[in-house]
Amino acid sequence: MARSTVSESVGIVFQLDRNDQQSFETERLWAAPVRPNEFRILNSPFFVFGVSAEDIVSAVQADDGVFHFQRVVERGGHSTYRVFLQRENTIEMELFLAHWNSIRALGVTFEAANNRFISIDIPPSSDMQRIYGLLQRGESEGVWVFEEGNYEATAGRVA
Distance, in Å, from the CA atom of 53 to the CA atom of 29, rounded to the nearest integer, reads: 9
pLDDT grade for 154, boundaries at 50, 70 and 90: confident
The answer on pLDDT for 34 being more than 70 is yes
Q: Are residues 125 and 87 in the same domain?
A: yes
| Phi, psi of 61, rounded to the nearest 5 degrees | -95, 125
User: Which residue type sits at 95?
Assistant: L
Residue at a domain's end among 44, 75, 106: 75
CB-based contacts of 117, cutoff 8 Å, min separation 6: 46, 82, 83, 84, 85
Can you give the pLDDT at residue 1? 39
How many angstroms separate the first and last alpha carbons of the chain? 24
Distance, in Å, from the CA atom of 124 to the CA atom of 122, rounded to the nearest integer, reads: 7
Domain annotation covers residue 119: yes
Residue at a domain's end among 75, 107, 128: 75
Domain range enclosing 86 = 79-157
The answer on pLDDT for 2 being more than 50 is no
Distance, in Å, from the CA atom of 60 to the CA atom of 18, rounded to the nearest integer, reads: 22
Q: Are residues 60 and 123 in the same domain?
A: no
**Count of structural domains, the chain:** 2
Q: Are residues 66 and 90 in the same domain?
A: no
Residue at a domain's end among 50, 75, 100: 75
The pTM of this model reads 0.89
For 92-124, the pLDDT digits (tens) are 999 999 999 999 999 999 999 999 999 999 999
Q: Are residues 83 and 70 in the same domain?
A: no
Instruction: Taking residues 87-95, report their average pLDDT.
Output: 96
Domain annotation covers residue 32: yes
Exposed, middle or buried by CB within 10 Å (0-12, 13-18, 19+), for 68? middle
Distance, in Å, from the CA atom of 109 to the CA atom of 115, rounded to the nearest integer, reads: 15
